[in-house]
Chains A and B, each alone.
Chain A
Amino acid sequence: MISVILYGRNDSHGYNLHKRAAISLNCIAEVLTDPDDEILFVDYNTPNDLPTFIEAIYDTLTSAAKARLRVFRVRPELHARLVGHTHLAALEPHSRNIAIRRANPRNRWVLLTNTDMVFLPRAGFPSLSAAVQDLADGLYILPRYELPEPLWEAFPRTDPQAVMQACEDLGRKLHLEEITLAFPYMRFDQPGDFQLVPRQALYGIHGFDERMIHGWHADSNMCKRFYLFYGKRTESLAHRVKGYHCDHTRVATLAHRLDIKLENNLNEFVFGLEDPIAHHQGDTWGAPGEPVEELDFSSDPQARFTAALETALGAPQQDDYLADSNDLRNFVAYHAAHVLPHLAGNLTTYPRSARFAYIGSNPRMFSLADRCIDELGFTHPLFNAGVTPAPELLLADYDLLIFDFGLDPDALKLDNVARVTDWPRDLRYRLGDVAKSLEACALLADSHRAHVPDFLVINANHHIFRQFAGQFLLLSETPYATHVRKGRPRIGDERLYRGHTWKYVEDDMRSFFGYGTWENTVPRVTLREAIDFTSVGQSSRYKDGNWGAMDFSGTWIEGHSAAILFAPPERADDDLIAFIRVNEAFIGPEDEPIRVRASFEGETLARWTLFTRYGITVCKILLPARLIAGKSVCRIELHVENPQSAQRVADALGQKTIGHDPRELGVKVQQVTFTNKDPWRYSLGETLDFTEHARGIDHADECWTQPDELGAWTIGPEAGIIIWPRETTAVPVAITFTINDAVIDPDHPDMEAKVTVNGQQVAVWTNWPTRNTHDRTVVLPPECFRSLDPIRVALHVKNPRTSFALGWSTWDKRPRGIRLNKVRLAPVLQYHLGGVMDFTAGGEAVAFVGDSLGVEWAVPDAWGFWTIGKRAEILVPFDRPLTESVPMAVVISDCMVHGSAAKLPVVVKANGHTVAEWTLDNRKPHTRSFTLPAEAVAAASTLTLTFEVSDPRSPLSVGWGQDPNPLGFRLARAVIGKKEIEIPDFEKHTRYRTLKRILGLPRFAVHVARVLLQRYR
């Protein structure tokens, strides 16, 4: 009999919309009695994210109302296509026309009303259906009685009989029933709340005029048109039915604001209207060709929601799930079964024909979602797009893109995940691909605005995924426990600059998830080409394990074990060296150095100790060819033995942190370079320069400071140098260190440094008279340079001191020892019979004293070197062993004789045989000679010449200076095989000093003049 047509939108229009609509729908259903009667509700332009208005109030509807309700959903896309530009979100003409077109054709009458009306058939008419069954064709209008808001707000919405009875009882009691007259063609004011008209007539005039898109007067227009259509008559049905209207003007809606009210043109659509038929829309009114969704409350996704989830999930959960909303460690894991209901909750508002795509790498989540989508009744299965789909395809073909930033916890067989990098790289990096896909789709959406699918992200509720997603999407902030957020891409002005906050996110995404230009392969390295581990480089493919955050200065190792993966060079038939440049070590509050063990292909090959918080340290590891051979991928594992808690360090510094900082930091790697052994190869006679622009530091281990223009300091108790000989020699080799500083000062004059070569001690230095530049020479053990085996020279500083402790710096707490400027290795001078041995500064024969320099012999100067203590030795290697007795002569340039101690006895021994006994009593340079007997030297390849000074004296004790060392005599030259030796011109040096002083006189005069000038100015 009657098709009641209503429309609305799930937008809380006015105040308490849900209640008055439920009252109205339930009461209307109550007065419909014909089996064909129906209530058609057009849900117009409700946002796709929301259910329709009827779904939102469905639980408050009576079974009678539910039985007669048909709901049509006009989505925003159709609204935009049908209407174009309007300020209104819901349009009456279009809504009603869509319903008219789809009304039950067996019904003669159509009642156009609204969801705030209550109809009461008057006495004699048991129902509205009965009241209209014998009516002649025409347009019938009702006067509308207003129900004050407190009245209807007190009505029980689910009891229509009670509501109707209350209207009946109170209408007159409260003096509510006023009939408001209007123009004759309308009969009553507000006619739109009851316009009853034959369905056929609505077709005859082509429905509501769909040009009326500015609001208001659609009812007046219909009245005027039917008035004309029916020969200038508009009927009243007030004698059979009463109509009550739930007033809702507590809150002024946009339509009620007189100052900004827009409306359709009354002259055009009402006053001047002459033709009732809307010819312009004869074929198009009511969108006849559009497939408008009609809701099925018994089997739509919304109705199937619970059952679908139960089926998809299977067994119920056994225990509570635990999740940490502040988790910074294992933030890629979530419980898929728990997430599914929240994911599915976002799907029920889509049409059944909707197409969903999944971009992610959690097979458990995908399979649950796929099953659920099927059970929800969607006609297309969930498309598994993987992690590298084509954005064009996704944007063109799908309605919702689901980006999953999580992984299946079952894929990781670890009881305790201490950090996100405990996850296998392949899995983690797939999330980087998910991120890249999201970015690509969001950016593409900006240029494909015609069809932009919705975006849904899983596990982007906190931490870096939240920030990443927020850069590209406008998403609702949902509770952490849902793990699901839905939204749309930022387009146009909504797009964000890639500011500094983005830069942090980008760097982290690249560090942990290989975001960027990632492909799952391990690159082949090229010798001498540096791999950049800073954020401007592309190091993801080389990394595995516990690599932490990356920034413009490098990548932290966060945790215990980080690996460098590489494919070796194609022709790698020799050992390689990996130079690992570290620019920061996270020293803890106890100033304990960071210790790193480096292994290659499972073999531990190096141990590093890093003392420097800030400053470059280059660690080196030799990668043997035998471990490289035949490998397509090699692995250097860096095990940080004592990573430091970032929280502890922050606490120690008094820094405020928000929450707990769970990071355990080791070292920050800036770059890695592979070379062959060339940087370590060495030819005898070469000088290794340890200043900043030279390559000497390439030979050093990590226990050295970054070189500056003066050299590099040893750090810690042991600092090493590695040397790979280029050639061999049978001649003994000496190493000469040019040292230009040491951690000594007047308060700390003592220092002990040992020199070891391949672990064998070769020298102990205890005498540090000066911080000035000087050389120290040590003879290497005989086996060195006999083969091409590597040689490791180490300097062991017994008590390294910090610049901070010495007062040289206010912050530098690195334990330093000595500063090395140069190193040179050369074959030890071999003595050729008759040659003059020069023991003055720079004289090659100084090498004959070996590691006794500084111990038994003082540092040489222009007059030779002093014996120290009671015994001083010289070891002279012969190029050819002696066969008989030979003479020997020496030049003594000075001796410790003075006043009461005018004589100095000295015993000279050759290979243990006493060969001379002297009593020195003259400080002037002079020569002495003696014979080396055959029994002492014959057949010996070396001569150990020992000088025993029974009564050495210090310059301090005799008043010559501050030197407390017990000295004997100063040896300047020696010769074997000759009785005579020439005394050098020691005065040359004295003359030079005098000349300097003379040349300096004018400068001194200027200085004096300046002082005088200042004094008398």
Chain B
Amino acid sequence: MPGPLSGLRIVITLPPHPWFGGVDYNFAVEMSEELRTLGAEVFDLDVAGFHSGNANYIAGAIEALKAFRPDVALPLPNALYALLCVTRDGKNVLRDILQIPTVMLWDHGLLQLPRQILNHLPMTPAESGGDAIRRLRQELNHALFFHYSPDRGHIAALDQLGVMQASKVEFFLQPAYPNFVRYGYRTPLSNAFRTRVAFAGNVYLQAAKDLPFRNLPLLAGIESRVLAAKKSRLTECLWDLIMGEISALDKPTRKELRLDADSTFFWNFMHEEIEMVGNTDVRLSVLTGLKREYEFYGNFVEPKSVDTLRSQYRIQFRKCLDYFTELPLLFMNSDVMVDVINLGYNTGISPKVMGCFACGGLVLFDYKDDFLKTMGDVANQVMYRSVDHLNTLVDEYLTDPRKRRDVSRYLQHRVATEFSFAALAKHVLVDKPVWKR
């Protein structure tokens, strides 16, 4: 029987495999395999060739792509990589040379895309460049780019800043990546990474510490206030809290600090403050507030910080887990996973959460509006609104295995059937093919 994507010829991107510990590469590989399984013909476009300026590869790839005659491009694992497929003279292969529609599935696009497009990472206001809004508009608002964001908060923020109209971006709930769905159909080795309570993710102690702008008193003040606010009100998103602080500044100060969206410093500041500082501080705050013993897995980004986690935060660090073989087992064999959604998401959730549900795990995470709106009331069974609430939920699930099983099985079924990457691909490429307009 032909698959739902039969007849479609899709260009996908493969990130350079050494980047981000190979995670993005692995995601892209398995997603492209999934597209093939669904019946599509897939062309793997290697971003590494563009990144290294390999004229041979670029020329060969363009020729091969023209022969392939793709219908659509789907940069994997997210839209960021479409922006990297650029020739030495600045032409985007998908948009300018092939001129094909490109389905742009964002990750935390609000923070990632501007950094990539502006390609300027000033660490102090003095180094800031300008003209950011125009450049972002010019790059993103192209008729051949069809944008999808997993975060309604991101869509609204970009609209407010005048970068993109909200109507031009479709919302999608982050899907579960294929590996996790596949594990959901397997029987796990019952004792592999058997834990009661566990966290799997990254904190960035060193990177956060090294940020130069944290030495500027005004910026440090903003940071301390928003972090305090976030920790006391976990349901609010860090982006909005920072924007609130910025709007409270008088105009000359705002200008002096280059905290307007037209300045490149603004985007780098927001990125680093949220991704590095916010994720580290808030995650550690929640984790150290847990009353139950828990185990910490991951931190592949900063393996050297493990000693600090152990000594300063008394965290029981275990190990980095292999994405393909070990992480699903941790999800499946942990009674409760605890997470603080990457603070780069304003209202949406990360694919890690969906992956955990897909393979039969149960993860408790901080309140995210998009998840509630999409999944309905069951979302309240797994989202906490404060650390106390989290502790209560952890206790409930640890003492009531049936509840744990009922909730996780229900969510597993829904995620595997409605919110898998396969379902998303079918939705955006076939069922509601906005790109065909």
> By the criterion CB–CB under 8 Å, are A500 and B57 in contact?
no
Binary flags per residue of B38-77, CB closer than 8 Å to A gives 1, else 0: 0000000010110111111100000000000000000000
- Cα distance A616–B55 when bound, in Å? 13
Which residues of B sit under 8 angstroms from A554, Cβ to Cβ? Answer: 52
| CB-contacts of A531-562 with B (<8 A) | 532, 534-537, 551-554
Q: Which of A181-189, A331-339, A490-498, A636-644 contacts B (4 or more CB under 8 A)?
A: A490-498
> By the criterion CB–CB under 8 Å, are B29 and A583 in contact?
no
B124 within 8 A of A: no
B384 within 8 A of A: no
Name the contact of A532 in the complex, choosing from B21, B51, B54, B324 (C-beta under 8 A): B54
| A616 nearest in chain B by CB position | B53
> By the criterion CB–CB under 8 Å, are A503 and B52 in contact?
no
B302 within 8 A of A: no
Q: How many A-B residue pairs have CB under 8 A?
A: 68
Q: Smallest distance from the beta carbon of B358 to chain A beta carbons, Å?
A: 15
- Cα distance A534–B182 when bound, in Å? 34
Which residues of A sit under 8 angstroms from B51, Cβ to Cβ? Answer: 552
> By the criterion CB–CB under 8 Å, are A530 and B324 in contact?
no
Say whether, besides A493-B186, A497-B30, A552-B48, A503 and B56 are in contact (CB < 8 Å).
no
- Cα distance A500–B26 when bound, in Å? 6
> By the criterion CB–CB under 8 Å, are B182 and A493 in contact?
yes
> By the criterion CB–CB under 8 Å, are B17 and A504 in contact?
yes
> By the criterion CB–CB under 8 Å, are A497 and B52 in contact?
no
> By the criterion CB–CB under 8 Å, are A499 and B26 in contact?
yes
> By the criterion CB–CB under 8 Å, are B46 and A536 in contact?
yes
Name the contact of A537 in the complex, choosing from B21, B33, B56, B179 (C-beta under 8 A): B56
A670 within 8 A of B: yes
Binary flags per residue of B154-195, CB closer than 8 Å to A gives 1, else 0: 000000000000000000000000010010001000000000
> By the criterion CB–CB under 8 Å, are A534 and B49 in contact?
yes
> By the criterion CB–CB under 8 Å, are B25 and A553 in contact?
no
> By the criterion CB–CB under 8 Å, are A498 and B29 in contact?
yes
Name the contact of B18 in the complex, choosing from A500, A616, A670 (C-beta under 8 A): A500
- Cα distance A535–B53 when bound, in Å? 13
Binary flags per residue of B290-323, CB closer than 8 Å to A gives 1, else 0: 0000000000000010000000000000000001
B130 within 8 A of A: no
Which residues of B sit under 8 angstroms from A498, Cβ to Cβ? Answer: 29
Name the contact of A536 in the complex, choosing from B23, B54, B186 (C-beta under 8 A): B54
Binary flags per residue of A122-155, CB closer than 8 Å to B gives 1, else 0: 0000000000000000000000000000000000
B351 within 8 A of A: no
> By the criterion CB–CB under 8 Å, are B324 and A496 in contact?
yes
A671 within 8 A of B: yes
| A552 nearest in chain B by CB position | B48
- Cα distance A360–B348 when bound, in Å? 54
- Cα distance A16–B407 when bound, in Å? 43
> By the criterion CB–CB under 8 Å, are A500 and B22 in contact?
yes
A447 within 8 A of B: no
Say whether, besides A497-B33, A497-B324, A552-B46, A530 and B17 are in contact (CB < 8 Å).
no
Which residues of A sit under 8 angstroms from B21, Cβ to Cβ? Answer: 500
> By the criterion CB–CB under 8 Å, are A530 and B46 in contact?
no
B129 within 8 A of A: no
- Cα distance A671–B22 when bound, in Å? 25
Which residues of B sit under 8 angstroms from A503, Cβ to Cβ? Answer: 17, 22, 25
> By the criterion CB–CB under 8 Å, are A536 and B22 in contact?
no
B122 within 8 A of A: no
* Residues of chain B at interface, number, CB under 8 A: 27
- Cα distance A666–B25 when bound, in Å? 28
| B20 nearest in chain A by CB position | A500
> By the criterion CB–CB under 8 Å, are A536 and B48 in contact?
yes
Say whether, besides A532-B54, A537-B56, A499 and B49 are in contact (CB < 8 Å).
no
Which residues of A sit under 8 angstroms from B18, Cβ to Cβ? Answer: 500, 551
- Cα distance A530–B58 when bound, in Å? 12
- Cα distance A497–B34 when bound, in Å? 11
Name the contact of A583 in the complex, choosing from B46, B52, B186, B323 (C-beta under 8 A): B52
Name the contact of B57 in the complex, choosing from A497, A499, A501, A537 (C-beta under 8 A): A537
| CB-contacts of B106-157 with A (<8 A) | none
- Cα distance A616–B25 when bound, in Å? 26
- Cα distance A498–B53 when bound, in Å? 24
Binary flags per residue of B3-18, CB closer than 8 Å to A gives 1, else 0: 0000000000000111
Name the contact of B25 in the complex, choosing from A499, A534, A535, A536 (C-beta under 8 A): A499
- Cα distance A553–B23 when bound, in Å? 20
Which residues of A sit under 8 angstroms from B46, Cβ to Cβ? Answer: 536, 552
> By the criterion CB–CB under 8 Å, are B186 and A552 in contact?
no
| B303 nearest in chain A by CB position | A656
Q: Smallest distance from the beta carbon of B51 to chain A beta carbons, Å?
A: 7
> By the criterion CB–CB under 8 Å, are B57 and A536 in contact?
yes
Which residues of B sit under 8 angstroms from A583, Cβ to Cβ? Answer: 52
> By the criterion CB–CB under 8 Å, are A532 and B57 in contact?
yes
Which residues of B sit under 8 angstroms from A616, Cβ to Cβ? Answer: 53
| B89 nearest in chain A by CB position | A693
Name the contact of A500 in the complex, choosing from B25, B55, B304 (C-beta under 8 A): B25
Q: Smallest distance from the beta carbon of A830 to chain B beta carbons, Å?
A: 43
- Cα distance A493–B183 when bound, in Å? 10
Name the contact of B52 in the complex, choosing from A493, A530, A553 (C-beta under 8 A): A553
Name the contact of B49 in the complex, choosing from A501, A530, A552, A656 (C-beta under 8 A): A552
| A506 nearest in chain B by CB position | B17
Which of A493, A553, A616, A671 gathers the greatest number of chain B CB atoms within 10 Å? A553
- Cα distance A616–B54 when bound, in Å? 11
Q: Smallest distance from the beta carbon of A477 to chain B beta carbons, Å?
A: 15
Q: Smallest distance from the beta carbon of B437 to chain A beta carbons, Å?
A: 34
Say whether, besides A493-B182, A497-B26, A499-B25, A670 and B17 are in contact (CB < 8 Å).
no
Say whether, besides A493-B182, A493-B186, A499 and B52 are in contact (CB < 8 Å).
no
- Cα distance A537–B61 when bound, in Å? 12
> By the criterion CB–CB under 8 Å, are A552 and B29 in contact?
no
Q: Smallest distance from the beta carbon of A530 to chain B beta carbons, Å?
A: 5
Which residues of B sit under 8 angstroms from A500, Cβ to Cβ? Answer: 17-18, 21-23, 25-26
> By the criterion CB–CB under 8 Å, are B55 and A530 in contact?
yes
Which residues of A sit under 8 angstroms from B182, Cβ to Cβ? Answer: 493
Which residues of A sit under 8 angstroms from B323, Cβ to Cβ? Answer: 499
Which residues of B sit under 8 angstroms from A536, Cβ to Cβ? Answer: 46, 48-49, 54, 56-57
> By the criterion CB–CB under 8 Å, are A501 and B22 in contact?
yes
- Cα distance A552–B33 when bound, in Å? 22
Binary flags per residue of A472-501, CB closer than 8 Å to B gives 1, else 0: 000000000000000000000100111111
- Cα distance A169–B53 when bound, in Å? 89
- Cα distance A656–B304 when bound, in Å? 10
Which residues of A sit under 8 angstroms from B52, Cβ to Cβ? Answer: 534, 552-554, 583, 670
> By the criterion CB–CB under 8 Å, are B54 and A499 in contact?
no
Could you list 20 further interchain pairs (A-B, Cβ under 8 angstroms) beyond the known A500-B26, A583-B52, A671-B54?
Answer: A497-B29, A497-B30, A497-B179, A498-B29, A499-B25, A499-B29, A500-B17, A500-B23, A503-B25, A532-B56, A532-B57, A534-B56, A534-B57, A536-B48, A552-B17, A552-B46, A552-B49, A553-B52, A616-B53, A656-B304
30 CB contacts below 8 A, A to B, read: A493-B182, A493-B186, A496-B324, A497-B29, A497-B179, A498-B29, A499-B22, A499-B26, A499-B29, A499-B30, A500-B23, A503-B17, A504-B17, A532-B57, A534-B52, A534-B54, A536-B46, A536-B48, A536-B49, A536-B54, A536-B56, A536-B57, A552-B46, A552-B48, A552-B51, A553-B48, A553-B52, A583-B52, A670-B52, A671-B56
- 7 closest pairs, A vs B, by CB? A500-B22, A552-B48, A500-B17, A503-B17, A553-B52, A499-B26, A532-B56
